[in-house]
């Protein structure tokens, strides 16, 4: 099975945050699953850090090593993802989340997210 972590899911997993659901944590820790973090999430983190809206317990440059040690793969943005974004309903206004949703739908990955507004997307597979 393939899973895509939403930005908050990725950060909460790395920081062992109690807001991460036990089901999400168990799924992420399962060695038989392939887990992706979108390059969009890394872009969002970098922008929020630069604006002073987000602080990490580690330097941004350590995220790649953390991803490697936890078995996460980076999901790049493809032309197919942007095509899906063009047709995506406007249930959600955040551009980062909208691209992550488009990626999940295009790849048919299960999206691990707490964001309740994501449930409005009919074909989106969610886990929390």
Question: pTM of the entire structure?
Answer: 0.94
DSSP letters spanning 18-61: TTS-HHHHHHHH-TTSEEEEEHHHHHHHHHHHHTTS---SS-GG
pLDDT digits (tens, 9 = 90+) for 21-72: 999 999 999 999 999 999 999 999 999 999 999 999 999 999 999 999 999 9
Domains of the chain: 2-127 (3.40.50.1010)
Mean pLDDT over each residue of the chain, to the nearest integer: 96
Write the CA distances from 71 to 13, 56, 84, integer angstroms: 12, 20, 27
pLDDT digits (tens, 9 = 90+) for 83-123: 999 999 988 789 999 999 999 999 999 999 999 999 999 89
Neighbour order of strands in the sheet with 110-112: 72-75, 34-38, 2-5, 110-112, 126-127
């Amino acid at each position: 099975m393939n899973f895509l972590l939403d930005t908050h899911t990725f950060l909460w997993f790395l920081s062992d945050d109690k807001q991460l659901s036990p089901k999400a944590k168990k799924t992420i820790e399962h060695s038989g699953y392939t887990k992706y973090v979108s390059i969009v999430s890394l872009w969002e983190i970098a922008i929020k850090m630069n604006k002073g809206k987000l602080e990490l317990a580690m330097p941004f440059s350590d995220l790649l090593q953390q991803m490697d040690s936890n078995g996460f793969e980076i999901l790049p943005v493809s032309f197919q993802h942007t095509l899906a974004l063009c047709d995506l309903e406007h249930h959600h206004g955040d551009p980062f989340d909208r691209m992550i949703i488009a990626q999940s739908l295009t790849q048919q990955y299960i999206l691990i997210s707490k964001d309740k507004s994501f449930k409005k997307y009919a074909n989106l597979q969610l886990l929390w």
